[in-house]
Amino acid sequence: MRSRYSAYVLGLIDYLVTTTLPAQQPLLDRQAMAQWSHDSRWLGLNVEREDPASASASRAQVIFSAHWADPDGSQHSHRECSDFCKLGERWYFIDPNHPLDVGRNDPCPCGSGKKFKQCCRC
């Protein structure tokens, strides 16, 4: 979560995309992400709670709030409980803006050619 916040501050859109669940990556609006990253003045991140992810866990949750100001100076904060999913050895952010309506046996939207349940489902 901290690294994704830093990526927003620094405008590292590639990093934000590649750390999102692969099945959701085709749904992301890179231009909107870049615009928001660029136009906002980032004021801080508070991580309230991080699940200590055990070695065997494939899901983790982080509760955080992010603070930023728009170009007009108005300040905002957003509190969210984010879910992360472990596929293989890597953790991915599950983007709540892009719910996946995919059946277990459907082809995975990430384009791997595998069934969803054997690929990006956690």
Applying CB under 5 A, the residues found at the interface with Zn ion are: 22-23, 108, 110, 112, 119-120
Please identify which residue in the block is written with the tokens 């992400």. 33
Question: Whole-number minimum distance, CB 84 to Zn ion, in Å?
Answer: 16
Question: Whole-number minimum distance, CB 119 to Zn ion, in Å?
Answer: 3
Question: Whole-number minimum distance, CB 21 to Zn ion, in Å?
Answer: 8
Return the number of the residue (45 or 110) whose C-beta is nearest Zn ion.
110
CA distance 94 to 96: 6
Q: Indicate if the alpha-carbon torsion angle 13, 51, 91, 59 is positive or negative.
A: negative
Return the number of the residue (94 or 108) whose C-beta is nearest Zn ion.
108
Return the number of the residue (36 or 93) whose C-beta is nearest Zn ion.
93
CA distance 17 to 20: 5
Return the number of the residue (85 or 108) whose C-beta is nearest Zn ion.
108
Please answer whether residues 81 and 66 qualify as being in contact, where contact means their C-beta atoms are separated by less than 8 angstroms.
no
Question: Whole-number minimum distance, CB 17 to Zn ion, in Å?
Answer: 14
Q: Which two tokens stand for residue 14?
A: 């590639």
Which helix (H) or strand (E) covers residue 68, if one does?
strand 59-69
